[in-house]
């Protein structure tokens, strides 16, 4: 089912949805010398006109699912402590691109896996409805297609929004979810169009995604032992300063640390790029140097994660780690080095 709506109609729809949801959408925000695009809650009707979908947001909506500071309840409450402090008010995320949708799917794999369900994550996830957004052109330094992500279409969200220049198309992909959130009627009221109209737009936009200069030749996962030992990691990552920017901005990096504030347990973002991440109480640190930390970050995404999750990559190719890095250290260059080294060593590539 494909619906067509003007910018005004989209605004009206969002206004109506605000009655049911906390709408979270990308806005342009000035931060010191930077102008960024960030997901922020829509606090008033007027703000709907300032929603900015044209560029890839500077950060994925990660912090809405795994907050930087996550209070997990008081220790004395015992093992059954529920995440009672938060509101279960439903949230609607507007304009999430394929890369960031894939990032959330990766969290689903990790945090709602079989017997290891994280109730804090799950509650936030169950309360969230995502409206995807079709990219019109590649973001700076992105390589999503190289990790198997389609920037133009995404089947894994109930609704997908397409910018048609003059107005928008809304593709309904999962009516059950819309029913659960009691919003199917609202969508069904909109005028329906033939799918060929939308297909034409997607075909046009696809032309903007020409062949990437960078390509991943090898299937995933990378062979762990060979990559671990044969690559000159120091040479490939010499310029790394050791900050946590790449991991904090990564839509898939989820590592955290626990700490207590008096009797309250907290979890906060951590980063494998920090030396303290692996420091033992004895003083020994199994990852003593920065290149070893880089090796961990890259192999987690391209070897360990795909090994544990049916070949699915731990990187969504959004390019933020490259754009945000203070020294512009490019993960594509390091991947290229790994692939070339592995090819030279004659390690057999897995079928992709």
Partner 1 sequence: MANSYKEITKELQEIAAEVFAEHEIKHLVGFGRGEFSGLTEPVFLKNPEEAERLIFQDDAAPMLSKYLLKYKPDLQAVVAKPCDSRALAYYISEGKISRDNLVIIGINGCPGIEGNTACQECDTRNPVIADYTVGEEMSQQELEAELEGVKYLLEDMTPAERKEHYSREFSRCTQCYACRDACPVCYCDHCYVESNQPEWLEEGSSADKDMIFHLMRTMHMPGRCVNCGACEMACPEGIEMRSMTTHLYHRAKELYNYRPGISPEQPTLFSDFDKEDSEPGFL
* 214 counts as binding partner 1 under rule CB under 8 A: yes
CB of 155 to partner 1, least distance (A): 29
CB of 133 to partner 1, least distance (A): 23
How many residues contact partner 1, by CB under 8 A?
Answer: 41
Cis before 305 (ω within 30):
no
Residue recorded with tokens 């048609």: 164
Please give the residues from 1 up to 60 whose contact with partner 1 meets the rule CB under 8 A: 31-34, 36
Burial of 200 (0-12, 13-18, 19+ CB in 10 A): exposed
DSSP string, 96-153: EEHHHHHHHHHHHHHHEETTEE-HHHHHHHHTEEEEEE--SSPPTT--GGGGT--SS-
Tokens of 313: 């990559």
CB of 255 to partner 1, least distance (A): 13
* 294 counts as binding partner 1 under rule CB under 8 A: no
d(CA 146, CA 320) in angstroms, rounded, equals 15
C-beta atoms surrounding 346 within 10 Å: 7
Nearer to partner 1, 89 or 259 (CB): 259
- Part in contact with partner 1 (CB under 8 A); list of ranges 1-9, 10-18, 272-280, 340-348: 272-280
Contact string 52-71 vs partner 1 (x = CB under 8 A): ----------------xx--
Query: Where would I find the H helices in 303-346?
Result: 305-308, 320-324, 331-345
Contact string 110-149 vs partner 1 (x = CB under 8 A): -------------------------------x--------
**Computed from CA positions of residues 93, 33, 255, 84, in that sequence, does the dihedral angle turn out positive or negative?**
negative
* 340 counts as binding partner 1 under rule CB under 8 A: no
List of residues contacting partner 1 (CB under 8 A): 31-34, 36, 68-69, 141, 213-214, 235, 238-239, 241-245, 248-249, 257, 259, 261, 266, 268-269, 271, 274-276, 279, 322, 324, 326-330, 332-333, 336
């Amino acid at each position: 089912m494909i619906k067509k709506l003007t910018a005004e109609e989209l605004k009206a729809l969002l206004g109506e949805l605000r009655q049911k949801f906390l709408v979270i959408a990308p806005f342009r925000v000035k931060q010191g010398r930077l102008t960024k695009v960030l997901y922020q809650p829509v606090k008033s009707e007027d703000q709907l006109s300032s929603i900015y979908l044209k560029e890839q947001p500077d950060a994925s909506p990660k912090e809405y699912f795994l907050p930087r500071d996550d209070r997990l309840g008081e220790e004395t409450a015992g093992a059954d402590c529920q995440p009672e402090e938060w509101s279960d008010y439903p949230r609607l995320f507007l304009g999430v691109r394929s890369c960031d949708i894939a990032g959330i799917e990766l969290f689903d794999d990790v945090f709602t896996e079989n017997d290891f369900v994280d109730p804090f994550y799950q509650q936030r996830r169950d309360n969230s409805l995502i409206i995807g957004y079709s990219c019109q052109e590649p973001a700076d330094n992105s390589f999503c297609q190289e990790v198997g992500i389609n920037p133009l279409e995404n089947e894994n969200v109930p609704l997908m929004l397409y910018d048609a220049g003059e107005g928008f198309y809304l593709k309904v992909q999962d009516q059950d979810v819309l029913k659960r959130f009691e919003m199917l009627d609202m969508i069904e009221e909109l005028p329906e169009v033939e799918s060929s109209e939308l297909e034409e737009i997607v075909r046009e936009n696809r032309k903007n995604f020409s062949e990437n200069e960078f390509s991943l030749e090898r299937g995933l996962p990378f062979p762990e032992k060979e990559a671990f030992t044969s690559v000159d990691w120091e040479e490939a990552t010499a310029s790394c300063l050791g900050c946590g920017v790449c991991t904090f901005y990564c839509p898939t990096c989820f590592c955290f640390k626990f700490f207590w504030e008096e009797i309250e347990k907290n979890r906060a973002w951590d980063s494998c790029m920090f030396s303290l991440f692996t420091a033992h109480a004895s003083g020994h640190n199994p990852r003593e140097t920065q290149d070893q930390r880089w090796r961990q970050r890259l192999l987690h995404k391209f070897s360990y994660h795909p090994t544990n999750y049916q070949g699915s990559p731990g990187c969504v190719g959004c390019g933020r780690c490259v754009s945000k890095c203070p020294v512009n250290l490019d993960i594509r260059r390091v991947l290229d080095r790994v692939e070339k080294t592995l090819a030279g060593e004659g390690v057999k590539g897995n079928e992709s």
